[in-house]
Structure 1
Amino acid sequence: MTNRTTVKTLTVEYPADGLTMVGHLALPGGVGPRPAVLIGPEGPGLNDFQRRRADTLAERGYVALAFDINGGRWFTDPQEMLAHVTPLLADPDRMRGIGHAALDVLRSEPRTDPARIAAIGYGTGGAIALELGRDGVDLRGIGTVNGLTTGRPGEAARIRCPVWAGVGSEDPIMPSAQRDAFTAEMQAAGVDWRLVVYGGALHAFHHPTVDQAVLPGVGHHPLHARRAWRDIVALLDEWVPVTE
């Protein structure tokens, strides 16, 4: 595992969706190409929680880009966030544009091995990771937490990698009907898919600063948050193992 003292972090600005996005790139120590991971944030935007995720993956030897979806903004008003995110989630082409822009930044980093890239995301960021797969992007794996969206008919057949999804059993934003639609889409497309339902967890259960006072149906579940992160790390070890 890479030592944390050797990790280098950079703020990267790039255009997407008519905005100037502000991403967080974390580079592992050493030299030579490394597998890479895109990390997509929740609807409110990119904050230190996901930046630390990128740093942690860099400590494990990955090039990691926590990408932006809101032009550098973190929405504190839930209604303002929903007004921004709801039209985005209804527009696969916009989501793909944001994902491709971030992917271009990651691929342009000299330390990135372009043949070994995975995409993970949370909520809106997970939906964007899925849309990259539906667009036929050559990824080694896709992981989505709380972002079990379905795509346009037939396009899931273009997914070229395994897909893992995690969701809380009590998530009213991703209820059982949505989970069923997602898994039916993956199964019909012949995708190598897995779904983990974390018992008793609400929406955004992975995030330590959310509660129902922010938005009904959301809440942190510390135990399942740790489990979901361990699951993701294990999947990355399977999809894009770091080899020195």
Structure 2
Amino acid sequence: MTTIATRTVAYPADGMTMIGHLALPAGTGRRPAVLVGPEGMGLTDVERRRADALAELGYVALAFDLHGGRVLTDPQDMLDRAMPLLADSGRMRGIGHAALDVLRAEPRTDPDRVAAIGYGTGGAIAVELGRAGTDLRAIATVNALNTGRPGEAARIRCPVWAGVGSEDPIMPAAQRDAFAAEMRAAGVDWRLVVYGGALHAFHHPPVDHATVPGVGHHPEHARRAWRDIVDLLAECLPLEPASAR
């Protein structure tokens, strides 16, 4: 296994001190980088491990925070914070840009080759960064197919990949259709993968606390969605051979 380095990073956003997880690949040169957004409950070891896996592939990766270092395991607490956030594109962009600034300031990062991926609330933030016209090479969102303000999707400057479970009651067929219509009208290079039989947060390992209704792990589709995201990054953020690093 490739040796990577990790550390926590503190930075201000949304009126609080966020605690992110930075993962650095082996070597000393600049590398393409990936911003990793968490589900609505906040940054957990699930996203930290995803950042580490990306670093093992050769990317600089920052798993960003949503709640000032807290993880909101109570479903109502999570909804009370996440729903107003999802309704406020300015706050979402602020959280995303603050983390992106940290990632781009990292000396190992090639600031001109950055992608944003995310799950749930973190995925909505990734897409919102695109709607803000942020310079990204790729965007991936799982479970979050929120639509934006009219016309703003035309600012998206990179391919967008979206994944959702066919049985997700939080992102039902009508929401999928609305997201697709927005991307299509804006002329975005987009794709949507619907994973048959999967619920909301199908990618997330089972948890030992209560969740909102409609959540369920689907191990096969979780692996497939991760491969799809890695393939998107390979297409849009290609890594040079190890001998060239």
TM-score range, shorter chain: over 0.9
Q: Paired residue for 2:153, among 151, 156, 160?
A: 156
Q: TM-score, normalised by structure 1?
A: 0.97
After TM superposition, the structure 1 = structure 2 runs for residues 37-186 of structure 1, keeping only pairs within 5 Å, are: 37-186=34-183
How do 1:211-222 and structure 2 match up within 5 A? 213-222=210-219
Structure 1 gap segments, 5+ residues each: none
What corresponds to 1:230 in structure 2? 227
The reply to whether residue 19 of structure 1 matches residue 25 of structure 2 is no
RMSD: 1.1
Aligned residues: 241
TM-score normalised by length of structure 2 = 0.97
Distance 1:238 1:211, change over 3 A: farther
Q: Percent identity?
A: 78
Kindly indicate whether residue 38 of structure 2 is the aligned counterpart of residue 32 of structure 1.
Answer: no
Query: In the TM superposition, what whole-angstrom CA distance separates every residue of 1:155-206 from its partner, at most 9, and x where no partner exists?
Result: 0000000000000000000000000000000000000000000000000000
Q: Secondary structure at the match of 1:31?
A: coil
Which runs of at least 4 in structure 1 moved beyond 3 Å after TM superposition?
210-213
- The question of whether the paired residues in 1 share the 8 Å contact of 2:130 and 2:139 is answered with yes
State the SS of the aligned residue for 1:64. Answer: strand
Distance in 2, Cα, partners of 1:147 & 1:71: 21
The Cα shift of 1:76 comes to 1.1
Shift of 1:42: 0.2
2: CA distance, partners of 1:11 / 1:213: 28
CA displacement at 1:209 relative to structure 2: 2.0
1:241 aligns with 2:238: yes
Gaps of 5+ in 2: none
Deviation at 1:32, TM superposition (A): 1.1
Matched position secondary structure for 2:54 = helix
